[in-house]
Amino acid sequence: MTLTGRRIVVVGGGIGGLAAALALSLRGAEVKVLEQAETIRAVGAGIQISPNGGRVIQALGLGGALASRSCPARAVVLRDYRAGQEVLRLDLTTLPADQEYHFVHRADLVDLLAERARAAGVQIRLLQKVAAAEPGTPPRLALCNGDHCGDAALVIGADGLHSVVRRALSGGAAPVFTGQVAWRAIVPNDVDHPPEATVHMGPGRHLVSYPLGDGAAVNIVAAEERSAWTPEGWAHEDDPANLANAFSGFGGFVPDLLKRVDRVGLWGLFRHPVAPQWHGDGIALLGDAAHPTLPFLAQGANMALEDAWTLAACLDADPSQPSALARYQHLRKHRCRRIVAAATGNAWKYHLANPLIRGAAHLGLGLAGRVAPQRMLRQFDWLYGHDVTA
């Protein structure tokens, strides 16, 4: 194997970083993950692993493990906010047999990836916060504790939105507040929530919910348009009453879900540009470090998984690291830009404020769903049908 014995350092122990470390280690590389936290843990709550990301999980040997710790998705359902009336149903059970869709707690997926990576020989070093990265042969990392790392052939920046490694390639780019914020919470499944991703759509806001694991809990992500700026990040706690007030006009099972929220996070949604350059001398980016996305297509984790597999495959197929990295960017950049653009465009579709326009739009969606349900689902073939492991 081309990668046998090659030393690679991955900055960031999230889903993308651990998947890349595992994929590279399975190809013979000597991989070290630097994680700034004191333990491998996931910030956030539930995520959706759509078929394109699920194929990478399968290829990494974790398909059965994911199935045992996730909830298989039956449908994506759009509902009107007032009484929860169904507008459109996308039946995921009619997808091809190789296209599995799962709801899983982020922490469970991180645990699976970390356990498998360690078993494959990946070194995971905790409390290793990177202060600066410098491209070169070899590339160099300066850590906040005063240590330096300069013995790797490649440094992979999987260090998220505020990537230190990205700054080494293209400098910082100021994010733009979208005028939207989002709450995130997990509550007990007292409403018998079906195994569906349900989107309640209302004027200037929407609420997404779906069950996790064995179905005992429900993940909630609720977005609202507002002019007031809210800091970026998932660690800002808010009063559950603020969430309840923002969605007080919503019907269906939304009120019962919100009654059970006793702890909720709030964060501002910012638009970040896709990195102009994903690689340099001895450095590469993946996941949010390369292409941050808004959450309105549920593709952040899936893009990171695709990146991880593609990067490892390109490096393994080409003994020239520079040309392998160039190939990686070529294969990924257009697709990720398309996904980011689609996610950005989804919010306004959920937030129609004019009741006449909203009524007409919902009527049209419902008619299309009844007349041509497969056509409505197949509009996502470009997304779900993509297989980076082929």
Catalytic positions, written as ranges: 210
Cis peptide before 319 (omega within 30 of 0): no
How far from 145 is each of 71, 134, 152, 157, 264, CA to CA, in Å? 41, 17, 19, 19, 33
Residue from 132, 160, 122, 149 nearest 37 by CA:
160
Retrieve residue 250's tokens.
């919503």
What strands lie across the sheet with 7-11, from one edge to the other?
123-125, 30-34, 7-11, 154-157, 283-285, 279-280
Query: Could you give the CA distance from residue 33 to residue 55 in angstroms, rounded to a whole number?
Result: 23
Check: CB of residue 164 under 8 Å from CB of residue 258. Answer: no
Q: Which residue has the tokens 């989002």?
A: 182
Tokens 């070529």, located at residue: 330
